[in-house]
Amino acid sequence: MTISSSLNASVAGLASNASRLATISDNIANSATYGYKRAVTDFHSMVIDSGQGRYAAGGVRVTSSRLIDERGPLVSTTNPTDLAVRGQGMLPVTQTSAIGAGVSDLPFQMTTTGSFRPDADGFLTTSSGLALLGWPANSDGTIPPFPRESTGGLEPIQVNANQFIADPTTRVDLAVNLPATGTIAGASGDTEVLSVEYFDNLGISGDLSISFSPTVPGTGASNTWTMLIEDSNSGGAVVGEYTLEFDDAPGLGGRLLSVTDTTGTPYDPAEGTVGVTVASGDITIGIGQIGEPGGLTQLSDDFAPVSISKDGSSVGTMTSIEVDANGYVHAFFDNGLSRTIYQVPLVSVQNTNGLLTQDRQTYSVTTDSGDFYLWDAGGGPTGDIVSFAREESATDVAGELTQLIQTQRAYSSNAKVIQTVDEMLQETTNIKR
């Protein structure tokens, strides 16, 4: 019985070390695989009989697992949509084959890194057939609330290389000096004209013609001007008319004293703005606050448009996309604009090593891992997302080779025990001779 148990234990030892050799070979084979998680084999002794006077070898049992929570080092790349997770959490992905088949309930998987590039349909995918998932943004770039404990709201991120964007003008700020000599008795009364380009909701260019007409008194100085605003896209219609009066008191000379509206949005003294309505919507015009420097002034004898600043731009074409540390996907356009189009959350589970390991360095939720939760990258227990980066394999080749030597020796030793048991059984057989 004891000799037979020794034979059985050594056979179990051979099988266990063969399993360990399999994990070592898998680790070494994937030492250059991005995002690969190292597999390990653990041995557990089996005790069958440990009574006094005799001992029966129980052998060994083996279990294998994958250290999914063990992260490899990050390496930089040149692709802005090469993504890696720095810290806890995983990227949500699905299979591109399911998207192509029109599956409504896409399979939900996760990975720690991926090289994503737009495919023929604009989906951000990897060469191995994974598509990145994210929450779509509203038209203004904000992310609406989505459920965090389910995949509802997540969709494959799709970008359109031929996408255009229009940025309408909503604000114009004027810094213009009007000649103080223009409102003195005997002045010529010439009108000063300023043209300001703006862009409507369709990216079409228009002009606001802003004219300043002085009020010339019979005697003295009126310090008063009429500002008339006309819109070219409305057929030259007058969209704003205001009476401007400037101060001539010591220390306040040349600054706005009062603004009276005839047409257009009334003057807002707190903001120092007026407003006009053009064909595409409302435009706020900053002219300065009462008694404060800047904006419209009346000094010296020169008409001087010091500065004209405005928002809005012509139609732009998308040139690139990038993902920031918090998972927001930004589209950049050739007119200098950028817009948030998606947000990529990070997936977290209670027991990372309890996830089901699948092909292509992907994982799925199991009862052992616990339910998942979608976090904003950089928030909660999760890390952040690093673009222009990939996660290298977690395999330590030097350590694996060391274990390979140990496994080879252990395997040889178990084989030697079997050989010894065979010789002992042969001796027992020879007793009868």
Q: Residue 433: which pLDDT band, with cuts at 50, 70 and 90?
A: low
Q: Do 65 and 94 lie in a common domain?
A: no
pLDDT at 161: 65
Q: Do 178 and 268 lie in a common domain?
A: yes
2-29 vs 397-430: helix crossing angle, rounded to 10: 160
Least-confidence region, from 87-91, 95-99, 101-105? 101-105
Give me the domain span that covers residue 50. 2-70+394-430
The mean per-residue pLDDT over the stretch 265-291 comes to: 92
Question: What are the angstrom distances between the C-alpha of 215 and each of 188, 194, 232, 259, 403?
Answer: 10, 18, 26, 14, 95
Percent of the chain with pLDDT strictly greater than 90: 67
Q: In this structure, how many other beta carbons lie within 10 angstroms of the beta carbon of residue 273?
A: 20
> Exposed, middle or buried, 235 (CB in 10 Å: 0-12/13-18/19+)?
exposed
The mean per-residue pLDDT over the stretch 52-56 comes to: 70
| Residue predicted with more confidence, 1 or 370 | 370
pLDDT tens profile 295-312: 999 998 889 999 999 988
Q: Do 324 and 384 lie in a common domain?
A: yes
pLDDT for residue 420 is more than 80: yes
Q: Per residue, what are the HEC states of 336-402?
A: CCEEEEEECCEEEECCHHHCEEEHHHEEECCCCCCCEEEECCCCCCCCEEEECEEECCCCCHHHHHH
What's 65's DSSP letter? E
pLDDT at 51: 60
pLDDT at 84: 97
Cα separation, 269 vs 291, in Å, equals 10
pLDDT for residue 4 is more than 80: no
Least-confidence region, from 176-180, 247-251, 321-325? 247-251
pLDDT tens profile 101-120: 877 789 999 999 999 999 99
CATH number for position 274? 2.60.98.20
pLDDT at 50: 59
| Residue predicted with more confidence, 376 or 318 | 376
Q: Do 256 and 373 lie in a common domain?
A: no
Total number of domains constituting the chain: 3
Q: Do 240 and 291 lie in a common domain?
A: yes
Whole-number average pLDDT of the chain: 90
Q: Do 36 and 51 lie in a common domain?
A: yes
Domain end marker among 294, 311, 328: 311
How much is the CA Rg of the chain, to the nearest whole Å? 38
The mean per-residue pLDDT over the stretch 364-380 comes to: 94
Cα separation, 72 vs 86, in Å, equals 10
| Residue predicted with more confidence, 418 or 46 | 418
pLDDT for residue 236 is more than 60: yes
Domain end marker among 311, 338, 364: 311
Nearest CA among 251, 247, 269 for reference residue 183: 247
The mean per-residue pLDDT over the stretch 90-100 comes to: 93
Question: What are the angstrom distances between the C-alpha of 241 and each of 160, 279, 280?
Answer: 44, 17, 19
